[in-house]
């Protein structure tokens, strides 16, 4: 019989670690398969039985982001072109398809990629809708306005930056906030983060005239997607672009003092007044500028807005979120930063204000009082999902909870791989990937 040889200390250590390595490989392989599976066929996110501590969370995030990227690529979700260094080639229009709609667009780079990733600017042209247009891209006004955006990119838009400049999908409809535009912008942002090295915290939306209306409206209805939004020669009513929701997105409006058509300058001033009131009540939020340009009409100086936007960085972990949950056109977003819903509220708008400080969650959840115009009452049902990580609270300690002024039982966050996978899959944004989630029932 062969003589037995004692194992070295190193070999013993390797054998001891082997089961651990297998345990780590197996869930990652499952996660990669899950990301590469069509959404309708995925089922629950894998890893519900895999607990993750702070060190594991940091280790897992790059692997999960790579798995999400590879899965999207396998599913054919990478349609943005590579960054083209030749300006003439970059100016050749490409097409983005969303359902029955087609967006001509260009993707233009300016300067060198920063170490933290490209800033991404979505630039919306003016013009709008013409019900008499002969086809979806048949109105010369929108052609000229789209060309103007490309000229502004070359002349005044800041460097460095990656610029997505779309042409309106259907001249007969117009309006940048319609559902197909929302889907297009979500797709572009997701692709740009996963495939084109874009910094998720430096995504901007700006536009001129009709494009500016869209930028302001997105600030009030999808604020967590952008670091800042800018409307030039544009303004929006408070009702369609709720300023309360802009707590964590910077907003700039540049408007001519003589731009009185459709009461544009009046609307801009009222937006500024309301944002000023909100900032005075909540000094950590509501970063804004309303710049009324003296002597100008609808034609203004476009230089200040993009330069200001470029200085802003999204705070993906604000200590407070204000969210009026309602459809934007007909689309209902179910996430806003570290808050989410698992279903549409039975009554809308649902007004949520969530504050998370020192492991204490204060949640105000209200609906409009049908019997008292302008008043609100506590939301009678539903539940809110509160996503958590170590930047928001101490995950090793319970979170105290108060809903509509009433104390609830404290909850101990449970950190799992499945929660990371699920929250990353929602938007492909690693900055909105969370390891823990509390379910807060609104009913007393």
Question: How does pLDDT run along the chain (444 residues), one tens digit per residue?
Answer: 334 444 444 343 333 333 334 344 589 999 999 999 999 999 999 999 999 998 899 999 999 999 999 999 999 999 999 999 998 999 999 999 999 999 999 999 999 999 999 999 999 999 999 999 999 999 999 999 999 999 999 999 999 999 999 999 999 999 999 999 999 999 999 999 999 999 999 999 999 999 999 999 999 999 999 999 999 999 999 999 999 999 999 999 999 999 999 999 999 999 999 999 999 999 999 999 999 999 999 999 999 999 999 999 999 999 999 999 999 999 999 999 999 999 999 999 999 999 999 999 999 999 999 999 999 999 999 999 999 999 999 999 999 999 999 999 999 999 999 999 999 999 999 999 999 999 999 998
Domains of the chain with CATH codes:
87-309 (3.40.50.1820), 320-441 (no CATH)
Q: CB–CB of 189/120 below 8 Å? A: yes
Q: Is 442 helix (H, G, I), strand (E, B) or coil?
A: coil
Prediction pTM value: 0.93
Q: CB–CB of 253/234 below 8 Å? A: yes
Count the neighbouring beta carbons within 10 Å of the beta carbon of residue 354: 23
Q: Is 16 exposed, middle or buried (0-12, 13-18, 19+ CB in 10 A)?
A: exposed
Look at the block and give the residue holding tokens 């002597």: 295
**What sign does the dihedral 312-317-320-326 (CA atoms) show?**
positive
Q: Is 296 helix (H, G, I), strand (E, B) or coil?
A: coil
**What sign does the dihedral 133-136-140-144 (CA atoms) show?**
positive
Q: CB–CB of 413/376 below 8 Å? A: no
CA distance 225 to 202: 10
Which phi-psi region, left, alpha or beta, contains residue 128 (left: φ > 0; alpha: ψ -120 to 50)?
left
Q: Is 390 helix (H, G, I), strand (E, B) or coil?
A: coil
Let me know the angle formed at the C-alpha of 183 by 178 and 189, rounded to the nearest 5 degrees: 125
Query: Crossing angle of helices 54-74/417-427, nearest 10°?
Result: 40
């Amino acid at each position: 019989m062969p003589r037995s040889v004692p194992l070295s200390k190193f070999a013993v250590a390797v054998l001891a670690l082997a089961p651990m390595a297998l345990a780590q490989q197996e869930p990652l392989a499952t996660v990669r398969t899950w990301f590469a599976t069509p959404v309708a066929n995925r089922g629950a996110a894998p890893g519900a039985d895999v607990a993750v501590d702070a060190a594991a969370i940091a280790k897992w995030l790059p692997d999960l982001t790579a798995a999400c990227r590879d899965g999207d690529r396998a599913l054919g979700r990478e349609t943005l072109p590579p960054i083209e260094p030749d300006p003439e080639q970059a100016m050749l229009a490409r097409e983005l398809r969303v359902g029955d709609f087609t967006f001509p667009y260009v993707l233009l780079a300016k300067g060198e990629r920063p170490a933290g990733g490209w800033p991404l600017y979505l630039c919306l042209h003016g013009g709008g809708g013409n019900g008499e247009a002969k086809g979806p891209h048949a109105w010369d006004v929108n052609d000229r306005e789209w060309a103007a955006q490309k000229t502004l990119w070359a002349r005044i838009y800041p460097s460095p930056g990656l610029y997505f400049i779309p042409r309106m999908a259907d001249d007969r409809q117009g309006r940048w906030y319609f559902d197909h535009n929302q889907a297009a912008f979500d797709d572009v942002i997701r692709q740009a983060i996963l495939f084109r090295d874009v910094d998720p915290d430096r995504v901007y939306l700006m536009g001129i005239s009709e494009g500016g209306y869209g930028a302001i409206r997105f600030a009030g209805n999808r604020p967590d997607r952008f670091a800042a939004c800018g409307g030039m020669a544009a303004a929006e009513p408070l009702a369609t672009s709720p300023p309360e929701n802009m707590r964590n997105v910077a907003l700039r409006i540049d408007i001519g003092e003589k731009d009185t058509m459709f009461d544009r300058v009046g609307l801009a001033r009222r937006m500024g007044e309301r944002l000023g009131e909100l900032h005075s009540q909540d000094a950590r939020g509501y970063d804004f500028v309303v710049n009324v340009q003296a002597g100008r009409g609808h034609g203004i100086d476009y230089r200040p807005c993009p330069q200001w936007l470029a200085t802003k960085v999204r705070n993906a972990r604000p200590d407070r979120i204000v969210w009026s949950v309602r459809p934007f056109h007909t689309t209902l977003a179910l996430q806003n930063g570290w808050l989410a819903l698992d279903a549409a509220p039975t009554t809308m708008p649902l007004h949520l204000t969530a504050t998370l400080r020192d492991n204490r969650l204060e949640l105000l959840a209200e609906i409009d009082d049908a019997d008292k115009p302008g008043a609100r009452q506590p939301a009678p049902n539903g539940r809110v999902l509160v996503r958590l990580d170590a930047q928001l609270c101490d995950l090793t300690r319970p979170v105290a909870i108060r809903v509509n002024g009433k104390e609830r039982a404290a909850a101990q966050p449970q950190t799992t791989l499945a929660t990371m996978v699920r929250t990353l899959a929602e938007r492909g944004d690693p900055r909105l990937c969370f390891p823990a989630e509390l379910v807060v029932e609104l009913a007393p």
